[in-house]
Structure 1
């Protein structure tokens, strides 16, 4: 079998790829978002892959096998296969140890490609730095472009650590430095992330394309709040302050609980109606301190209003959004903030930290409110206004779906396909000066 054709010597290329190798090493698209390491990245991979397949671009998603019982290949949707690659011990492994198992994962990718015809994959798209490290090797072996979405970056996270949170390891920082130099194209979720890629990692401007993620506008839609409250088991006069996401210090659910305590101190009459909903599973450092939020709520005297819920499927999650007075996203770092967009799509305004991609996900003063910093008193003041001024909240709620509608997945896939086409366009060999 002939070796790979160097990218500079390609003479033809399809207008769009016929088959893409998507790499999501550390978390499977089959996992429930909000549990373990599964979150917005998982949603992104699934939604993009489905819509790519609908446009006749087949997608194979490579992920690490976590159990010997998993079949080698699972069809996620017509044209989308999830390939489970054994790499290291089965079971959950800490992300910081997965770099030690990159070699068997890469070998698994190469074996899968070797079973097809030459040129089986036209392009590799990596998600998160570990996936990128594996994807670069495969892309170079196959002679195809390597496109990388970082989703989060170590230097960015380390610059905005929550109190008590551990910094990202130096091995990840070095790995991301190498990946930025090796990837053919980098995808930033927002202009802010593009600036971080250049400022923190020295990425070249011409290497970066800014393509916002989307939201499922068919599942996340507005609906009657009273009926949604009924369906999730809350009284119709409840004021639900909602947090959705992985329970870890980075996402700052403690800020919402502290804000609720401030809110009740400001207006004790709210206690009979106030509900703080924390919807999500323990993740990262949160697994080492599983009682952190319940102990905090107890110490602040608000345990009676805090309701801890496991991750929900998308239909049920949409009801939580519709039922909420506000969705609160107080993260210390967010590459985009998919939860904020889902909430707005359901007609519920968002109160979020002014960090990272949340400045794009939320239209400040129109579909929600952005807060500088993480002082619970500032969050409490805005939440009190949403409750005490229903006409103002209603204006935010009315505008929220319109803002979310500008961020549908169809737009994301349109722009990704344009990027793929450009990455596949043969480059000039630069030989004119030699003639």
Structure 2
């Protein structure tokens, strides 16, 4: 911690970077992630793409001299108050409510305690310690709104998911988001100086559903760690047509998967919203029509129960048994990022039949490893996946439609290679450096406008 403080003071002594138009990048940002810690394993509980997003964005912001302190709720009593995640990135654990067994739906009652913890940390610093607040998800937005007002700095907010959008596309039997969340989101949208949307589609939803001021909404695509998620082959580059199949063969050998198998992979949180059941039903339809494929079909489901899926953690296993496909489905627990990259490489395709996705980060991660994606045409997935080029987009959630696409991969083994090579090239434009640079530009604009507003108010 001492090293971190000395580095902070050294960096604070540096002149702030001036940008075109006289703007200055903020030196230090308070990033808020109330309901999920950037230190948690993605694919478990409420941890998913947002965790990856916060970790990667914070690291890349620090690399361009924007210090980041991430405030998150402490989930065990053994956690140290602060953890240095990377040079220039500090995670602060805030005590708010019981450490374990608190569902996301119960967190609104802990926002006062969390806000108190954030204010306590701030009180130990000189005035002006944070130049900006960046909150993630609506719960953090409420804390961010209060903190930004108290500190006299702008609030930048990222929704990640929206209640009105989720409720408009609920999976059968899934629980709708409560009215309190809708009201809370509306208040945060109104309070934020800037809103960051993952795609132009999400920007339109903010404006249409939440009456966001179009001038406050900025589109910044999330990125992917291209050093980790990559085609892993001895070939010189993505242009070599042999790179993808070689990478896939090596990954299958490491994971114990048959080399000639058709491997449609599901990787993510097990909950109705992500629709892994659609994949299982599609596999059942495919095998009914094509029983000859059973001997060369392996369907890995990599992830853990989450959200409303926690109520019936064995639901998917029971469905596989009912459909008579237990022999082809491999259930695997969530894995770390490096092993996840190997699962992506090993797969013939990634299947994402989600009912709602603000972006669908795993779609880009899979494509970066040379694996095509079969996805529902929802949310940000049409941006992440180029239909008929890097994978297929399906309208709706009819298992027969997914089964038809799976059959195409079964009948043409070179399809996964061709689409995979195009997918790997497509993913190259989604580096985190680009995302961090775009986010820093949003910060700069928010700080400039906030200062202008303060000056005119006091003028």
Q: Scaled by the length of structure 2, what TM-score is found? A: 0.90
Q: Does residue 1:146 correspond to 2:155, yes or no?
A: yes
Root mean square deviation of aligned Cα = 1.6
Deviation at 1:80, TM superposition (A): 0.7
Consecutive unaligned residues of structure 1, counting only runs of 5 or more, are 1-12
2:263/2:297 contact within 8 Å kept:
yes
2:223/2:430 contact within 8 Å kept:
yes
2:61/2:437 contact within 8 Å kept:
no
Provide the residue aligned with 2:452 in structure 1. 427
| 1:240 maps to which of 258, 263, 271 | 263
Provide the residue aligned with 1:192 in structure 2. 201
Distance in 2 between the 1:30 and 1:212 partners? 22
Provide the residue aligned with 1:308 in structure 2. 331
Deviation at 1:68, TM superposition (A): 1.7
Provide the residue aligned with 2:290 in structure 1. 267
Deviation at 1:430, TM superposition (A): 8.7
Counterparts in 2 of 1:56 and 1:268: CA distance versus 1, 3 Å: same
Distance in 1 between the 2:345 and 2:152 partners? 48
Distance in 1 between the 2:28 and 2:365 partners? 29
Deviation at 1:222, TM superposition (A): 1.0
Residue-pair matches, total = 422
Q: Does residue 1:95 correspond to 2:104, yes or no?
A: yes
1:86-119 deviations in Å (ceiling 9; x for gaps): 1111213111110111111111111111111110
Counterparts in 2 of 1:126 and 1:430: CA distance versus 1, 3 Å: closer
2:262/2:409 contact within 8 Å kept:
no
Distance in 2 between the 1:430 and 1:222 partners? 52
| 1:163 maps to which of 158, 172, 182 | 172
Deviation at 1:184, TM superposition (A): 0.7
Distance in 1 between the 2:59 and 2:455 partners? 38
| 1:75 maps to which of 84, 95, 98 | 84
1:338-365 deviations in Å (ceiling 9; x for gaps): 1110110000000000000001110111
Provide the residue aligned with 2:9 in structure 1. none
| 1:341 maps to which of 364, 369, 378 | 364
Corresponding residue SS for 1:166: coil
Q: Which moved more, 1:273-282 or 1:90-99?
A: 90-99
Deviation at 1:428, TM superposition (A): 5.7
Deviation at 1:314, TM superposition (A): 1.2
1:215/1:342 contact within 8 Å kept:
yes
Distance in 1 between the 2:445 and 2:291 partners? 59
Distance in 1 between the 2:337 and 2:453 partners? 47
Provide the residue aligned with 1:4 in structure 2. none
Provide the residue aligned with 1:112 in structure 2. 121
1:325/1:387 contact within 8 Å kept:
no
Counterparts in 2 of 1:191 and 1:101: CA distance versus 1, 3 Å: same
1:118-142 deviations in Å (ceiling 9; x for gaps): 1000000000000000011001000
Q: Does residue 1:23 correspond to 2:32, yes or no?
A: yes
Consecutive unaligned residues of structure 2, counting only runs of 5 or more, are 1-21, 233-246
Deviation at 1:394, TM superposition (A): 2.5
| 1:289 maps to which of 296, 304, 312 | 312
Distance in 2 between the 1:84 and 1:417 partners? 25
Counterparts in 2 of 1:227 and 1:431: CA distance versus 1, 3 Å: closer
Provide the residue aligned with 1:5 in structure 2. none
| 1:135 maps to which of 134, 141, 144 | 144
Deviation at 1:23, TM superposition (A): 0.1
Provide the residue aligned with 1:64 in structure 2. 73
Distance in 2 between the 1:181 and 1:315 partners? 39
Provide the residue aligned with 1:356 in structure 2. 379
2:23/2:445 contact within 8 Å kept:
no
Distance in 2 between the 1:322 and 1:59 partners? 32
Deviation at 1:337, TM superposition (A): 0.3
Provide the residue aligned with 1:228 in structure 2. 251
Provide the residue aligned with 1:3 in structure 2. none
Distance in 2 between the 1:274 and 1:162 partners? 27
| 1:390 maps to which of 413, 422, 430 | 413
Distance in 2 between the 1:105 and 1:428 partners? 29
Corresponding residue SS for 2:90: strand
Q: Does residue 1:381 correspond to 2:404, yes or no?
A: yes
Distance in 2 between the 1:73 and 1:409 partners? 25
2:43/2:334 contact within 8 Å kept:
yes
Distance in 2 between the 1:326 and 1:34 partners? 19
Distance in 1 between the 2:369 and 2:455 partners? 52
Q: Scaled by the length of structure 1, what TM-score is found? A: 0.95
Distance in 1 between the 2:438 and 2:249 partners? 38
Distance in 2 between the 1:344 and 1:141 partners? 43
2:370/2:424 contact within 8 Å kept:
yes
Provide the residue aligned with 2:438 in structure 1. 415
